[in-house]
Amino acid sequence: MDSSKTKELSDAEWNERFQSIYQQYYAKLCIYATSILANDEESEEIVQNVIYKLWEQREKFNEIENLQSYLYRSVKNLCINIINRQKIEDKYKSEAWFELKNIELHAIEPLENNNQEQEKKLYEAIEQLPERCKEVLLLSKFQGMKNKEIAEHLDVSVKAIEASITRAFTLLRKMMNNPKNT
């Protein structure tokens, strides 16, 4: 896009542009941050900060070559800053962990072209899960409840919830990879 044109954008037009950034990237960036930090609230704050920083420098908007990787990189850097500062858990210090995160980053970027076919397949697979697994998975991933809340809601231990989610995920993975075998 022509940068001289961008300068003339009104606040309303900028708002529109940022709205589409939210629609396209917000949830994905939050997920990415959560996968690094294992903390929902902190992740949302980080993503908001990254987008806010982008807003403050919006005159330079067009100097950013690849918006998507800029956003992911910024989120990742902020997350790693936090980890370095806090040194929360041993796993963060392991080289292996960072290396896996890098592989992950490359994996999620093509997600932008997420097709509906795939989504339909996923929902069908969820339908086939054992009742309890399905219930826990839906509460956790679609209602956004925390494991502790689900545990209280269903009157079972948090460990049991974690186990159900892991099991649901393992099953889903198998179904998505070999749909014919299910």
Partner 1 sequence: MIPNDNIEKYLAGQTTVAETEELLRWVNESEDHKKEFTEACKLWYALQANKYNSDKAFASFVASHTPKPAKAKIFPIWKKISAVAAVAILTIGCFTLFNKQPESITVANNNATVETVTLPDGSTIYLQNGASVTYPEEFAATSRTISATGNIFCEITRNEKAPFTVTSNKLTIKVLGTSFQVNSTNNAYVVVETGKVQVSTDTQSVIIEKGERADLTNNTLVTTTNTDLNFLSWKTGLLQFRNTNLSQVFSDLARHYNCEFAYTKSCADVAKMNLTGTYQDLPLAQVLQMIEAAIPEFHYEINANVVLVSNSK
Minimum CB distance to partner 1 smaller for 65 or for 144: 144
Question: Which three-class secondary structure state does DSSP give residue 175?
Answer: helix
Distance CA 13, CA 19 (A): 10
What DSSP assignment string belongs to 99-138? HHHHHHHHHHGGGGG--HHHHHHHHHHHHTS-HHHHHHHI
Minimum CB distance to partner 1 smaller for 138 or for 156: 138
Question: Site residues (CB under 8 A) for partner 1?
Answer: 15, 18-19, 22-23, 26-28, 30-32, 34-35, 38, 40, 44, 47-48, 51-52, 55, 90-91, 93-94, 96-97, 99-100, 103-104, 106-108, 111, 114, 118-119, 122, 137, 141-142, 144, 162, 165-166, 169-170, 172-173, 176-177
Residue 18 CB, shortest distance to partner 1, in Å, is 7
Residue 8 CB, shortest distance to partner 1, in Å, is 19
Burial 35-70 (b: 16+ CB within 10 A, else e): ebbeeeebbeebbeebbeebeeeeeebeeeeeeeee
Minimum CB distance to partner 1 smaller for 2 or for 12: 12
